[in-house]
Structure 1
């Protein structure tokens, strides 16, 4: 069994690392949020105070961080991963970042004689908890093969996407399609409501018909249809608006760089920005369904219960 460093033990990182522990690996983690650190300890993860302590003698290191700037800082800082990793340690970033940041990680690792694989994931918190995430790996074939063995306990699918940066490129395109799909599901759910259709009955129809999609099967934004839908919990986040906006923005940025026209992605981005402008960046991204509602209200969402609006009301 291996010793694995895990940097970033949040909503995704804790269940992912827990699967590694269950598979018999020793996991040493770093997390600055005290509640998340406590949750990690409860799953058998050894929480340490520094990246250096996590990396000491580690066979592998995984990072799960919110934004590109966090990845750059954790890898490139004076006390970061590049400063303390050993040549034998395979480094894997599961975060969603821009292609340029991922390629920077590859080039900086290579310059230091280190091994790096971009290893973004798809499947959300439900996939992290179930151990069914899809890993999209980019890097040299031998390095990708090593990474695939490490991530296997957390994965339902492990796909070698190509050379350096191919994994993150695949992730950005995939998530762009996801947010366009969320928009379609949201509009469909509200039209079905206004036409008087029973929500579960319509979901049963769409699930086995041409309207089917991953967000429809996983995140349907009407309460009482899917147990883990955010609609059952006042749209508290499983995948926040802020993070969705970050990912969708990176995809639109890639479109600008490559010259690809992305009108649907730009509309999805505009809707996420509208929610952020309303102070709802901390809510679930499926709250975009309220933008399709005739009067802006949404079954399953009560602003009076929304702690994120307390400062606005004060």
Structure 2
């Protein structure tokens, strides 16, 4: 059988990533356990197979994009894991954002079987996946990363090799802790300006040019009508949900505890996003945290000039 890419986990992120590979002429077989995801994937044109054996038969690369470490562990490891079914000549690319311990275990078990494996979580969200502009944060050997590079070049714009196996998920955890904190900071700053009845557009432009700027302020602005193409302009329809941010902040706190690191702002960010999710907004984009922070000062449609 002709070599193909076995893509496991074709939800909000995996589906457009697989689609980019197909558009580039790659043969892709997809697999998922969610009936809803399978239905959507088939409707979008993906070749979804029903069994792991069919998925792996003739595969040259296995790419997984799963929600949590427990899903990665269940897929690959243990008596029912697929690791023993994967041909030795295959390359495993796990793009899931998971705990470092699970990633290292998968890497070690793969190595024992002579299978190359790298961890490669992504940044850029659903929007980045749809246009092939993801950034891959990669952990693994130089040889394995070189093998994966042609596929990364199709799905993304940057390959950031952080170091040995586990470094990709490690840097992703650190990055997303900073991202969650900075989204709260951007929301607090802009909502304060709104309560002060200032012109939010002017405040936004000035902060972007001043020392208080951050990525959330410039590229993923949490208040509507300030930056094109962001979820806040679309009633916070998610690119990256608050639930996923809560998950990543929990990973960061677990990692910090494991090495006795002090992360008080990370802890505070987790508490804030947890409250937001517990109040029923877990499926909202994480930039929607501005609604909770703004309270009665927030209104939609949003008036950037501060008028009610």
How far did residue 250 of structure 1 move?
A: 0.6
Map 1:265-276 to 2 at 5 A: 265-276=266-277
Check conservation: 1:231, 1:300, Cα contact below 8 A. Answer: no
The answer for the alignment partner of 1:178 in structure 2 is: 179
**1:288-307 mapped onto 2 (5 Å cutoff):** 288-295=289-296, 298-300=298-300
Aligned mates of 2:18, 2:209 — CA distance in 1:
34
Deviation at 1:196, TM superposition (A): 2.0
- Gaps (5+ residues) in structure 2? 303-308
Which has the larger displacement, 223-232 or 246-255? 223-232
SS at the partner of 1:66? coil
CA distance in 1, matches of 2:53, 2:206: 53
Query: How do 1:94-109 residues align onto structure 2 when only pairs under 5 Å count?
Result: 94-109=95-110
Number of residue pairs aligned between Structure 1 and Structure 2:
301
What is the TM-score normalised by the length of structure 1? 0.89
Distance 2:167 2:79 in 1: 28
**5+ residue gaps, structure 1:** 303-314
Q: CA deviation at 1:214?
A: 1.8
Greater shift, 135-144 or 100-109, is seen at 135-144
Q: Aligned-pair distance for 1:20?
A: 0.7
Cα pair 1:7 1:51 within 8 Å, conserved: no
2:68–2:98: 8 Å Cα contact kept in structure 1? yes
Cross-structure match for 2:132: 131
CA distance in 1 between partners of 2:233 and 2:51 (Å): 38
CA 1:24 to 1:2, structure 2 compared with 1: closer, same or farther past 3 Å?
Answer: farther
RMSD: 2.1
Q: Which has the higher contact order (CA 8 A, sep 6+)?
A: 2
Matched, 1:213 2:246: no
Q: Are the equivalent residues in 2 in contact too, given 1:64–1:95 (CA < 8 A)?
A: yes
Contact 2:187–2:223 under 8 Å retained in 1: no
- Please give the per-residue CA displacement for 1:114-168, whole angstroms capped at 9, x wherever unaligned: 2211111111111111211111111122112112222210111002211111111
Aligned-pair CA distance for 1:19: 0.9
Deviation at 1:75, TM superposition (A): 1.2
